C-alpha cells in the first residue's frame, strides 16, 4: 500500500490568510530575524479568482535529479519479549541541501532527520518512546490520530526544555492506519513543525496483513508541505496572524 499523508500545518487552502510579519530562521545563532511586513490580505476567494500571488522563494528547477528521501523505520532500543517495546528519539539540529548552489537549510528533526524516522507499530503491542531534547527549542510530541492517556498526549504546555527528556507510553490499540507524530509546543507548534519536527507513525494489524499488500520498499510514505525560502536558502516563516503560511514551494 502506498501510504500518502499530508503533513502540512501551512493551511495552503485556508479560509483566510492575513499576512502580518515574516521571519528568517537562523538556528546557528538561535535568532529569528524580522524580514519585513506584508500589507496584503488574501482569502480563499482571492486564490480562486484573482491573479497568482507573487513568487517569493527562489525558483526550484531540480525536480527529478535527486532521489526521494525515505525516512528509515525506527527500531526499538530493547523489547520486553512480551507486549512492550522501548524506543529513544533525539531531537537535534540538522542541515539539509534544498537548493543546489545555495547554503544548506537549517532544520530541527527527530533523530536529526526530516521527516523523522517512521514508527511501524503493531496493534496491541505497546511502546514507550523517550524523546530527548538536544535542540534549540522546547519540545512536546503529539501522535496525531492515536488514543493516548493525557500525560502522554503531547499537551502544548507539557514541553521538555533543551537538555530535558520525556517518556511517552503509547497503547497502539487502534486498527491499522497511517498517522503522524509532530511537535505540539505552546506558542511554537507551527514554527517547530515547519522546521522539521514531524514524522510518520504506522499502525498495522492482522486484518491488514491478511490482505498481503505491498510492504517494505514498496510501501513509501509521502509528506507534502508548502514552504517559503529566502534568496540564501534560509526558511522564511510567516505566522500570518495564526492563519498559516501560503508557501510557494511544495516539498515532497
* % of the chain with per-residue pLDDT over 90: 60
Q: What is the span of the domain harbouring residue 221?
A: 4-63+70-251
Band of pLDDT at residue 28, cut at 50, 70 and 90: low
68, 59, 20, 92 alpha-carbon torsion, rounded to 10°: 30
- Owner of C-alpha cell 530562521: 25
185, 189, 86, 145 alpha-carbon torsion, rounded to 10°: 120
pLDDT in tens, 89-119: 999 999 999 999 999 999 999 999 999 999 9
What's the DSSP call for residue 28?
T
Instruction: Give the CATH number of the domain where residue 28 resides.
Output: 2.60.40.420
| Cβ neighbours of residue 8 closer than 8 Å, sequence gap 6 or more | 223, 224, 225, 226
Domain count, the chain: 1
pLDDT in tens, 180-230: 999 999 999 999 999 999 999 999 999 999 999 988 888 899 999 999 999
How many CA atoms are closer than 13 Å to the CA of 112, on its beta-carbon side?
5
The pairing of beta strand 126-133 with beta strand 141-144: unpaired
Amino acid at each position: 500500500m502506498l501510504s500518502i499523508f499530508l503533513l502540512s500545518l501551512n493551511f495552503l487552502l485556508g479560509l483566510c490568510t492575513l499576512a502580518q510579519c515574516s521571519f528568517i530562521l537562523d538556528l546557528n545563532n538561535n535568532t529569528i530575524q524580522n524580514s519585513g511586513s506584508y500589507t496584503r490580505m488574501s482569502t480563499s476567494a482571492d486564490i480562486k479568482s484573482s491573479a497568482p500571488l507573487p513568487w517569493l522563494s527562489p525558483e526550484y528547477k531540480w525536480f527529478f535529479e535527486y532521489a526521494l528521501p525515505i525516512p528509515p523505520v525506527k527500531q526499538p532500543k530493547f523489547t520486553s519479549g512480551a507486549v512492550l517495546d522501548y524506543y529513544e528519539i533525539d531531537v537535534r539540529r540538522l542541515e539539509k541541501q534544498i537548493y543546489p548552489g545555495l547554503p544548506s537549510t537549517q532544520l530541527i528533526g527527530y533523530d536529526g532527520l526530516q521527516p523523522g524516522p517512521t514508527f511501524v507499530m503493531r496493534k496491541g503491542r505497546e511502546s514507550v518512546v523517550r524523546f530527548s531534547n538536544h535542540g534549540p527549542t522546547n519540545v512536546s510530541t503529539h501522535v496525531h490520530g492515536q488514543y493516548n492517556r493525557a500525560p502522554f498526549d503531547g499537551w502544548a504546555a507539557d514541553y521538555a526544555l533543551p537538555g530535558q527528556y520525556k517518556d511517552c507510553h503509547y497503547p497502539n490499540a487502534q486498527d491499522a492506519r497511517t498517522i503522524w507524530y509532530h511537535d505540539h509546543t505552546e506558542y511554537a507548534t507551527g514554527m517547530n513543525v515547519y522546521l522539521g519536527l514531524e514524522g510518520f507513525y504506522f499502525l498495522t494489524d492482522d486484518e491488514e496483513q491478511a490482505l498481503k499488500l505491498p510492504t517494505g520498499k514498496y510501501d513509501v510514505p509521502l509528506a507534502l508541505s508548502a514552504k517559503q525560502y529566502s534568496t540564501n536558502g534560509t526558511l522564511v516563516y510567516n505566522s500570518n496572524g495564526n492563519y498559516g503560511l501560503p508557501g510557494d514551494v511544495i516539498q515532497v
